């Protein structure tokens, strides 16, 4: 049988094979990952913000009538 493939995972940015203990392959990918996380956080805040606005509009409608 073929020899066992050493346990590995893939870089979350570029998909290169890396040891299981790592999540990203290089400093460059780490930086890209960080900016991706920031963007994602911003999107989450935006989503919560718009939900809050919609709820506020509903509440104002209920109060107005
Ligand atoms: Zn990478």
| DSSP conformation class of 8 | E
Report, as an integer, the average pLDDT of 20-45.
96
Quote the pLDDT of residue 59. Answer: 95
Compute φ and ψ for 25, nearest 5 degrees.
Answer: -90, -25
Average pLDDT over the chain, rounded to whole? 92
pLDDT at 10: 95
Give residue 49 CA to ligand 1 midpoint distance, Å: 33
Whether pTM exceeds 0.85:
no
- Provide the pLDDT confidence category of residue 65 given band limits of 50, 70 and 90: confident
Per-residue pLDDT band for 22 (boundaries 50, 70, 90) equals very high
CA–centroid distance, residue 64 to ligand 1 (Å): 55
């Amino acid at each position: 049988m073929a020899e066992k493939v050493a346990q590995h995972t893939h870089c979350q940015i570029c998909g290169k094979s890396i040891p299981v203990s790592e999540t990203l392959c290089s400093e460059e990918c780490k930086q890209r990952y960080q900016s991706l996380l920031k963007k994602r956080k911003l999107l989450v805040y935006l989503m919560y913000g718009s939900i809050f606005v919609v709820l506020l509009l509903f509440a104002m409608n209920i109060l107005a009538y």
